[in-house]
């Protein structure tokens, strides 16, 4: 494992020295990670918390890191000695991986001595922003495809980690496998892939190329049929080899289309395969696809069973950054919480102060999610009484709920620097996402003009926020 302790912005370390010399190094602070609304985000799938926890547990400066920091000529020796001994000793409360989350909700909260809490900001954001982004994109694509999506993007990923952890996030979001062998081994998830155009080009004829491949991989044989002419050459040659395979006692897996009019070609190929008696041979499609092209192909009646999605998934091409932030929510003096707020001229940018809990409210009868509800930490909600929730910005939008169930979305991830949550297999994380997704009305998750799912503030939290905003007057703290 690489030591990623230096994976931080320099200002975390300069501020750290400031807190150190100001005697504030042991002052506890709480920071929330959350993201803001964006028209491309209808819902997000939390991911990257596993790597966040690993990173926090491993946090330590090596001698060479200290030597490097010393070489910058801006740090004091006593502070460097302090850093050498520093470990992460704080607590982290977070949602599960695979949890469906919405803007403004604290996905995770770090409560730690100020220097530690600042130091870990950058890397935590990197892990959570990246993986949540890709898991969410994968979820959209998989919803459009209705299943059978494989992650094929490594060569277009923004570096090795983007490919490796992008594949991880894609599985959480619903992909059934990846082409990335490194990720397959690391996360024990299915890997897939058979041949490239270069294989076909490297034999005198397409038929010989297919035969040579089938000889090597008689089981699960999947042939790439678009190197020369999909319908005149590729599919007929594939059928010839499939017949030979069947005679030898093997059932072929199917074909892959990687170019051309995928709707037309898949329908024609389906007919040809069916007529030849290969009704069970699948048709896999790839080539610059995303949730929109997948949906369009399905609307056109394309007969595609399986999808290889590359560039647009692994980079989340239409929105390549989630933009999650890490904001001070509170400091503690003599054990007493002092809520903090970040003001802004833009109402949506004003933070929610203090330690908080996040609940999901489900309808008592249908079991479907109605709204999320952010409260002050430890606030009691009386389920016997009707609960009036209101829009955090447009407070005239109200709704009174009766007969609901509640779930606290967050639980401890790290306590006193040690992780306290077990690591789950990726497919289990995905299954969790799926079970939760089923509790959302389609109106909230659909791609086009979804209803905005409500994330409301409790009366108590809203009152605190209002009071803090008002007391700052024109923004002077």
Interface residues for its own copies in 310-329 (CB under 8 A)?
311, 314-317, 320-323, 326-328
Near its own copies by CB under 8 A: residue from 216, 366, 405, 411? 216
Closest approach of its own copies to the CB of residue 347, in Å: 14
- Residues linked to residue 94 through DSSP beta bridges, in sequence order: 108, 411
Would you count residue 127 as binding its own copies (CB under 8 A)?
yes
Question: Which stretch, 128-136, 358-366, 380-388, 440-448, contacts its own copies (CB under 8 A)?
Answer: 128-136
Question: Which stretch, 178-186, 355-363, 393-401, 410-418, contacts its own copies (CB under 8 A)?
Answer: 178-186
Closest approach of its own copies to the CB of residue 193, in Å: 3
Closer residue to its own copies in complex, CB, 179/458: 179
Classified as helix, coil or strand, 415 is: strand
Closer residue to its own copies in complex, CB, 325/401: 325
Whether the Cβ atoms of residue 32 and residue 327 lie closer than 8 Å to each other: yes
Closest approach of its own copies to the CB of residue 443, in Å: 30
CB neighbour class for 74 (10 Å; exposed up to 12, middle 13-18, buried from 19): exposed
Size of site (CB under 8 A) for its own copies: 107
Would you count residue 292 as binding its own copies (CB under 8 A)?
no
331 membership: H or E segment, kind and range: strand 325-333
Would you count residue 265 as binding its own copies (CB under 8 A)?
no
Would you count residue 250 as binding its own copies (CB under 8 A)?
no
Near its own copies by CB under 8 A: residue from 137, 340, 356, 376? 340
* Span 357-416, contacts to its own copies by CB under 8 A: none
Would you count residue 74 as binding its own copies (CB under 8 A)?
yes
Would you count residue 248 as binding its own copies (CB under 8 A)?
no
Near its own copies by CB under 8 A: residue from 154, 273, 369, 409? 154
Angle separating helix axes 121-145 and 49-58, nearest 10 degrees: 160
Classified as helix, coil or strand, 163 is: helix
Closer residue to its own copies in complex, CB, 93/118: 118
The token pair at 333 is: 């003096």
Closer residue to its own copies in complex, CB, 213/390: 213
Closer residue to its own copies in complex, CB, 64/443: 64
Distance CA 121, CA 127 (A): 10
Near its own copies by CB under 8 A: residue from 26, 219, 275, 428? 219
φ, ψ of residue 154 to 5 degrees: the values are: -45, -45
Q: What is the DSSP letter of 24?
A: -
* Span 406-445, contacts to its own copies by CB under 8 A: none
Closest approach of its own copies to the CB of residue 472, in Å: 8
φ, ψ of residue 358 to 5 degrees: the values are: -125, 120
Distance CA 287, CA 338 (A): 53
Distance CA 127, CA 34 (A): 13
Nearest to 6 by CA among 65, 71, 91: 65
Distance CA 329, CA 352 (A): 7
């Amino acid at each position: 494992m690489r030591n990623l302790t230096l994976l931080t912005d320099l200002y975390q370390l300069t501020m750290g020295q400031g807190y150190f010399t100001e005697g504030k190094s042991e002052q506890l602070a709480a920071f929330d990670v959350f993201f803001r609304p964006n028209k491309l985000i209808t819902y997000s799938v939390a991911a990257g918390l596993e790597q966040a926890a690993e990173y926090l547990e491993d946090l330590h400066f090596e001698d060479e890191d200290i030597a490097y920091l010393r070489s910058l000529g801006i740090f004091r020796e006593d502070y460097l000695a302090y850093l050498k001994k520093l470990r992460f000793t704080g607590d982290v409360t977070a949602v599960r991986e695979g949890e469906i989350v919405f803007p403004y909700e604290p996905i995770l909260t770090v409560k730690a001595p100020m220097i530690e809490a600042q130091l870990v900001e950058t890397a935590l954001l990197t892990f959570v922003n990246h993986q949540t982004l890709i898991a969410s994109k994968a979820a959209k694509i998989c919803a459009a495809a209705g299943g059978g999506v494989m992650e094929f993007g490594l060569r277009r990923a923004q570096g090795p980690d983007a490919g490796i952890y992008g594949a991880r996030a894609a599985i959480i979001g619903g992909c059934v496998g990846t082409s990335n062998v490194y990720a397959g081994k690391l996360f024990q998830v299915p890997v897939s892939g058979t041949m490239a155009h270069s294989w076909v080009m490297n034999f005198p004829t397409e038929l010989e190329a297919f035969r040579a491949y089938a000889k090597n991989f008689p089981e699960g044989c999947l042939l790439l049929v678009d190197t020369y002419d999909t319908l005149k050459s590729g599919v007929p040659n594939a059928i010839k080899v499939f017949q030979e395979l069947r005679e030898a006692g093997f059932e072929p897996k199917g074909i892959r289309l990687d170019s051309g009019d995928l709707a037309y070609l898949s329908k024609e190929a389906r007919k040809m395969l069916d007529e030849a008696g290969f009704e069970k041979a699948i048709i896999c499609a790839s080539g610059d696809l995303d949730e929109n092209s997948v949906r369009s192909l399905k609307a056109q009646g394309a007969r595609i069973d399986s999808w290889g999605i590359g560039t647009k998934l692994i980079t989340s091409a239409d929105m390549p950054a989630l933009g999650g932030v890490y904001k001070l929510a509170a400091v503690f003096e003599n054990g007493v919480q002092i809520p903090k707020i970040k003001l802004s001229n833009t109402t949506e940018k004003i933070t929610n102060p203090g330690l908080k809990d996040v609940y999901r409210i489900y309808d008592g009868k249908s079991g479907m999610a109605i709204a999320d509800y952010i409260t002050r930490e430890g606030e009691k909600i009386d389920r016997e009484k009707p609960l009036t929730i209101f829009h955090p910005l447009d407070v005239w939008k109200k709704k009174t709920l009766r007969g609901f169930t509640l779930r606290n979305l967050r639980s401890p991830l790290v306590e006193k620097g040690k992780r306290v949550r077990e690591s789950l297999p990726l497919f289990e994380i995905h299954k969790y996402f799926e079970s939760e997704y089923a509790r959302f009305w389609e109106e909230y998750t659909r791609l086009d003009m979804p209803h905005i799912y409500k994330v409301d503030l409790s009366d108590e939290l809203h009152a605190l926020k209002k009071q803090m905003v008002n007391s700052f007057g024109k923004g002077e703290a």
